[in-house]
Amino acid sequence: MIYLLLSIVASTLIFIIFKLFDKYNINALQAIVVNYFSACLFGLWSYEAPIVVRDIFSSEWIFGAVALGFLFITVFNIMAVTAQRNGLSVASVATKMSVIIPIVFGVYMYQESAGFQKIAGILLALIAVYLTSVKPKTAENIGKSLWLPILLFLGSGIIDTSIKYIETTYLSENGIPVFSATIFGFAFIIGVVTLIIKAMKHPMKLPLKTIIGGAILGITNYFSIYYLLKALNHESLESSTLFTINNVAIIMVSTLLGLFFFKEHVSKTNWLGIVLAVISIGLITLA
């Protein structure tokens, strides 16, 4: 459970860092690319065994790491476009509701428990995620470009499901750092290509504050994935339980941080979602 809590803390810190990007006018896309480079380097540095590039490229999980690197940067861009066209709340709902995909996968693929209390907790968690994320006119905004939230929903769900499958099928515990680093490395390469294409159309600079912000984000991002993999590696916690608690807790804590530190408006609906989130976590944990 400690690894799950650490993953939640790291993922919530990502929320705070993005908020600070807005405050200090840091280009999010540039910082994201720097973040992947920073996360990759930190993962390689954390790996205790000697790093042999040939062994990495001959590993069973290499194609999964390449696919995840592509998905990481692609889903991020879809998230950005969704937030711009449909609103931030729609992007948040689509991302967090995608937890249903790895939950169903875990129950079906690995015969994880699905008792009445657990199912009730999961359904309550989905309602809580929606209520906590929803802002005025969310439903209206979804209709503007319905395909974007759908793509974001599927992409986010596929990422979580793929991480679980690769961790279970191919990954040893001591291989988590280098696997995480490889994912971030490929995401960085794709991100650099994206920036080069954009720079060819509109010249851009890379300020020092963007490099520093991206580096801090990268270390935080690395730990969010590292501890999630460590939690998945622990036999006492089923993935359907883990992903539900992880997603609900992140959005609940992020909402509260937005209220207390960034003075964001939290409606009665959002408060109801927070209360249901606490209840759902209790039901799932005790199931």
Neighbours of 147 (CB within 10 A): 9
Residue-level pLDDT, tens digit, the chain, 287 residues: 799 999 999 988 888 888 888 788 888 889 999 999 999 999 999 888 788 889 899 999 999 999 999 999 888 778 877 766 776 666 777 887 888 899 889 888 888 887 888 899 999 998 988 888 776 665 555 555 678 888 989 999 999 999 999 988 998 878 889 999 999 999 999 999 988 998 888 888 899 999 999 999 999 999 999 999 999 888 777 888 899 898 888 888 888 888 888 787 888 988 998 999 999 998 888 86
User: In the prediction, which pLDDT does 141 show?
Assistant: 57
Q: Is 11 left (phi over 0), alpha (psi -120 to 50) or beta?
A: alpha
C-alpha–C-alpha distance, residues 185 and 179, integer Å? 10
Taking every pair of Cα atoms in the chain, the longest distance, rounded to a whole number of angstroms, is 57
Instruction: Compute CA distances 106 → 47, 162, 269, whole Å.
Output: 28, 11, 30
Helices (H), 47-175: 53-57, 62-85, 88-97, 100-109, 116-133, 138-142, 147-169
CB neighbours of residue 209 within 10 Å: 14
pLDDT tens for each residue of 164-200: 999 889 988 788 899 999 999 999 999 999 889 988 8
Report how far residue 242's alpha carbon sits from residue 252's, in angstroms, rounded to the nearest whole number: 15
Q: What angle separates helix 208-233 from helix 2-23, to the nearest 10 degrees? A: 160
Among 139, 126, 72, 119, CA closest to 98: 126
Q: Which residues contact 31 (CB under 8 A, 6 or more apart)?
A: 21, 210, 213, 214, 217
Tens-digit pLDDT profile for residues 29-77: 899 999 999 999 999 998 887 888 898 999 999 999 999 999 998 887 7
Identify the pLDDT of residue 180.
92
Q: At what angle do helices 147-169 and 100-109 cross, to 10 degrees?
A: 40
The total of other beta-carbon atoms located within 10 Å of residue 163's CB is 24
Q: What percent of the chain has pLDDT over 90?
A: 36
